[in-house]
Amino acid sequence: CAQRTLLVLVLCVFYFFLSSRTRFNVHREVTPVELPNCNLVKGIDNGSEDLEILPNGLAFISSGLKYPGIMSFDPDKSGKILLMDLNEEDPVVLELGITGSTFDLSSFNPHGISTFTDEDNIVYLMVVNHPDSKSTVELFKFQEKEKSLLHLKTIRHKLLPSVNDIVAVGPEHFYATNDHYFIDPYLKSWEMHLGLAWSFVTYYSPNDVRVVAEGFDFANGINISPDGKYVYIAELLAHKIHVYEKHANWTLTPLKSLDFNTLVDNISVDPVTGDLWVGCHPNGMRIFYYDPKNPPASEVLRIQDILSKEPKVTVAYAENGTVLQGSTVAAVYKGKMLVGTVFHKALYCELSQAN
């Protein structure tokens, strides 16, 4: 009986070892895919984890994320929101000032972001924040003339325990991915390494908060189709993007899933074509176990016609980490692409005609 128990334990350990290597894609190396004209963005050295481009070409960028188990080049510095005007010939980044008497700048730790523009053209910026390793969603009003953000509200809820990304669907309404079920750092680590697939997606409004999708192995990026009918969810450690149909009562129904040979992070949606642009980690082990001599690579996927029977998936950019480490997000505007990273720099590229 003891020998049988020992054998079971050995087999379980072996299974989890193999499973982890698959989930983290440890053997993946990238084949470089270059673009004709790429430049690192000056002024971004500590991450650009998420970004969103408004229809007028203004890009919001979250920078300075400190995430448990992930590298940070300046762990004692608080995070910030940056602005770039992509209409400029040589755009530069500007740090947006934050006003609001109750907002604590010293603990600002921004993660995923999303915008909502109302009928009066007021732009609201929602920011996932991790002050003191907690999870909140901060609601800001963008003041374009002043180049600043006015803090309006901090949102906390028991169904928002470990928020990674959000997509705004109203001035105080959003879907949010929770990348872990647990809050305790020790339990979160076990949850991830055992592949428990307990993470979930929450719908939030001031009067209604509920889980709308669950059973994910690290739910990560989330976005919505231009017509508002479909929600896209990235499942990082399962290497999948799920398509859900959104209903009038805000519930979600699974429609289809796409599999990839990379860890899919944040999703941007081209408002004109509906194409998905996805920041990816080809080899997840290099993100979670950083080695400067063997840095994490960067990869950007473009997904066209995702609702069709045969979506077209193209590697728009790939690099082995020499230039750009740990890509998390990519978005396009007028033939240009902006690529962000979890803790490194940001890249601004001209797209080739093939893209």
**Domains identified in the chain and CATH numbers:** 1-350 (2.120.10.30)
Which residue has better confidence, 124 or 36?
124
Q: Is 39 annotated as a binding residue?
A: no
Strands in 47-122 per DSSP E: 50-53, 58-63, 80-85, 93-95, 97-99, 110-117
Which residue has better confidence, 125 or 352?
125
Enumerate the active-site residues. Answer: 111
Please count the helices (runs of H) and the strands (runs of E) in the chain. 3, 25
Percent of the chain with pLDDT over 70: 94
Mean pLDDT score of the chain: 94
pLDDT digits (tens, 9 = 90+) for 56-111: 999 999 999 999 999 999 999 999 999 999 999 999 999 999 998 789 999 999 99
Compute the distance between CA of residue 270 and CA of residue 46 in angstroms, rounded to an integer: 26
Q: Is 113 annotated as a binding residue?
A: yes
Look at residue 12 in the predicted model and tell me its pLDDT.
46
Look at residue 102 in the predicted model and tell me its pLDDT.
85
Res. 167: pLDDT tops 60 = yes
Compute the distance between CA of residue 133 and CA of residue 75 in angstroms, rounded to an integer: 13
Look at residue 295 in the predicted model and tell me its pLDDT.
97
103 near 93, Cβ under 8 Å? no
Look at residue 36 in the predicted model and tell me its pLDDT.
85
Q: Is 265 annotated as a binding residue?
A: yes
Compute the distance between CA of residue 355 and CA of residue 310 in angstroms, rounded to an integer: 18
Q: What is the mean pLDDT of residues 153-165?
A: 98
Alpha-carbon distances of 44 from 41, 84, 121, 339, rounded to whole Å:
6, 11, 29, 12
Res. 117: pLDDT tops 80 = yes
Look at residue 338 in the predicted model and tell me its pLDDT.
98
Look at residue 19 in the predicted model and tell me its pLDDT.
73
Compute the distance between CA of residue 316 and CA of residue 11 in angstroms, rounded to an integer: 40
Look at residue 5 in the predicted model and tell me its pLDDT.
57
Res. 14: pLDDT tops 90 = no
Task: Give the residue ranges of DSSP H helices in 136-245.
Answer: 185-193
pTM (2 d.p.): 0.95
Look at residue 4 in the predicted model and tell me its pLDDT.
57
pLDDT digits (tens, 9 = 90+) for 191-245: 998 999 999 999 999 999 999 999 999 999 999 999 999 999 999 999 999 999 9
Q: Is 235 annotated as a binding residue?
A: no
Q: Is 34 annotated as a binding residue?
A: no
Sequence-distant (≥ 6) Cβ neighbours of residue 159 within 8 angstroms = 178, 202, 204, 209, 210, 211
Q: Is 266 annotated as a binding residue?
A: yes
161 near 109, Cβ under 8 Å? no
